Amino acid sequence: MPPEVPACQKYACAIQDCLSKNNYQEAKCATALADLEKCCKALIAKGANGPFPTELLVSIFIYTDGPTLSSCSRVCHQWSNVIAQFDHVIWPHACHRDFSRRNIHRFWSLQFPDPNTFSNRRSWQDMYRITRNWYTGHVKGYYPTITNTKQAHRKACAVVGSPQEQGMFTSLTLAHDGRVVRSNPNYHHPTTTHQQQQQQQQYQQSLMLQSPFTKERSFLDAAVRADLPGWTEAARAHSIVCHFTHPSSKWLVTGGLNGTVAVWDLTTKSLMRMWHGHRGRVLCISMNDEAVVSGGSDSMIRVWDLDKNTQECHNRPTRRGMIDISLYLSGRSDWYQGVGEIAVNGHIVACAPDASGPILLFSLLTGSLVYELKAPEENPHNEWVTEDITAFTRLCLSPFFLLTKGRVQQSNSASIRLVPATNVVTQRAIKSPGYVTKLSDSKTDGLPTAVAQMTPYQLYQYYQSVNPIVDPVPPTVSACINVWNLQTGKIAYRLVPTLETPSQHYTITDVKISPDSSKVFATIEVRAQKQYDERVYCWDFSHRNNEQDFDLTELDDIDPVLRKTGKSWVCFM
């Protein structure tokens, strides 16, 4: 028997003895596991097989962290197969131990996502790798290929873009069946008779369901539940201002001009519940699996319980509480006219006023303020994040991070890390500025005879034509996406795109995250003197392979009926 076998058995017994005790010592177990790994590698080098049963390995692996599991998977084929085949047994412990349990606070916490809720069937190991890449900033940025092919086994997971139709912005979300839900104040339910036209003046339905494949459109059924008296009148007054859907939920929530919040069942396209609580119109709305959160022009955030397990959700008390954000804005409250944007995950509510200002994070459980996002140290003269958070910040929440639109200055780009390493800021730093030829160095051949009679402007135009600036000076401010660590309330790093011509001006108009947080999509408007282009950019945190593992197709690319400006795209995974 090789001498390493008794040593392996000794270390395995030590690990089992450590795991059997109530006072589990992680450091002691990790040391014994490292020694066990060395012995097994020595056995493999001598051609011996692993001497441990699968049950023993599983009982050990469930107490190890993610980096140790990754190291153990490279020891031998047996260990690698055990770690891969028992993914649902081993990796959940590492995910919660490394990310969730260390983030537990008194009134709020961060929750690791369950991969079983995603349509693309992520494993626990995949989610661990993606979350680790979020913390380390290990991301790949590129312009994805636009394709018109949609494979049958893939499902729409994100829609990105901010088009304008008939002069108004259109909000786009995805329903659970893959259809795109569109909201625009100019949408009207199609009518045929004179009586329906009169009813349309009282009740305007501004929601449209659209198939991303066939482009077929349908409206929500305006008929309400007959067993709820008074709902017909309330539905007629519910002129939709905003809406929200999630790909994993069948519910659709809408906010009305009269301060009402409605819940729709997308399966039956019927109205299920309506609440009234805002003193003014509802400006933004969101939800998670258990609650609906709405923000209004009255500076109030209202939380409503959502019973997803029963169709009779109107029979139970639904109002959970409210938060007045004006109490947290101190003397600056006169600048703001309500809650402009809102985002919700399992335990956190992030909101921003409808003008440049701070972003507030509240506990969904207690309504207490977690923290207010402060300006980075590179802008010490700003009281809030006016230089990095603009109006329409496009709040996006992942389980452990918050994304907002921002700006980075060329002179302060080294204060906060920019990812990926190759981005437009580094491109502009490397690219030399334009050189304007001096008058003494310029060509004198062919000067017009009447040069002495030229005005200064005419001289400037002439020398510009003789010595054009081929390489203009790039802008000193670049648009980016700030990635805030929800545990610390600080910017962890910034996502910055690349440009084919770094000297061009560009803006980020929309930001979306895929449900599994593996992709961040943004629409980028690139502007030049005689050119305007709108494209989609992707930051990939999965790093599964070097190929594009999703399909991206343009929505309404050939549709003159909508009379819209701006582009939008649907992602299939």
Q: pLDDT band at 166, cuts 50/70/90? A: confident
Exposure on the CB side of residue 165, measured as CA atoms within 13 A? 20
**pLDDT band for position 9 (50/70/90)?**
low
Which position has the higher pLDDT, 271 or 206?
Answer: 271
Residue 442 scores a pLDDT above 70:
no
Is the model's pLDDT at 240 over the cut of 90?
A: no
The band of 303, judged by pLDDT with boundaries at 50, 70 and 90, is very high
The pLDDT of 170-181, averaged and rounded, is 90
pLDDT digits (tens, 9 = 90+) for 17-26: 555 544 445 5
Burial of 439 (0-12, 13-18, 19+ CB in 10 A): exposed
If pLDDT is split at 50, 70 and 90, which confidence band does 110 have?
confident
pLDDT for the residue numbered 42 = 62
| pLDDT tens-digit readout, 242-263 | 999 988 888 999 998 888 898 8
| 4: confidence class by pLDDT, cuts 50, 70, 90 | very low
Mean pLDDT of 420-443: 66
Q: Is the dihedral of CA 373, 378, 384, 388 positive or negative?
A: negative
pLDDT band at 482 (very low <50, low <70, confident <90, very high): very high
Q: Please state whether the predicted TM-score (pTM) of the whole model is above 0.85.
A: no
The answer to whether the CB of 243 falls within 8 A of the CB of 180 is no
Residue 52 has pLDDT above 60, yes or no: yes
Rounded-to-integer distance, Cα 133 and Cα 237, Å: 47
CA distance 480 to 496: 5
**Which of the given ranges, 292-296, 438-442, 499-503, has the highest pLDDT on average?**
292-296
Q: Which secondary-structure segment (H or E) carries 134?
A: helix 124-136
Percent of the chain topping pLDDT 70: 68
Span of 19-28, 515-524, 529-538, 556-565 with lowest mean pLDDT: 19-28
Region of poorest pLDDT, from 131-135, 171-175, 294-298, 466-470: 466-470
Q: Which segment of 22-31, 327-336, 396-405 scores lowest on mean pLDDT?
A: 22-31
String of b and e for 90-122 (b: at least 16 CB within 10 Å)? bbbbbbebbbbeebeeeebbbbbbebeebbbeb
Please say if the pLDDT value at position 100 is more than 90. no
pLDDT band (50, 70, 90) for residue 124:
very high
Mean pLDDT on 100-122: 77
- For residue 392, pLDDT over 70 is answered with no
**DSSP 8-state assignment for residue 102:** G
Instruction: Kindly give the pairing relationship between strand 270-276 and strand 282-287.
Output: unpaired
Task: Give the pLDDT band (50/70/90) at residue 224.
Answer: low
* Closest alpha carbon to 224 in 257, 167, 264: 264
Model confidence at 193: pLDDT above 80: no
Q: Other CB atoms closer than 10 Å to residue 266's CB: what's the count?
A: 18
Query: Which sign, positive or negative, has the C-alpha torsion 441, 442, 447, 450?
Result: negative
Q: Which residue has the higher pLDDT, 370 or 68?
A: 370
pLDDT reported for residue 350: 93
Report residue 381's pLDDT band, with 50, 70 and 90 as the boundaries. Answer: very low
- Higher-pLDDT residue of 457, 291: 291
Q: Which of 296-300, 412-416, 511-515 has the lowest mean pLDDT?
A: 412-416
What pLDDT does residue 386 have?
Answer: 39
pLDDT of 154 reads: 76
Domain range annotation of the chain: 4-122, 123-147+398-432+449-573
Band (181; pLDDT cuts 50, 70, 90)? very high
Span 138-146, mean pLDDT?
Answer: 93
3-state secondary structure at position 537: strand
* pLDDT surpassing 80 at residue 455: no
Given a cut of 70, whether residue 380 has pLDDT beyond it is no
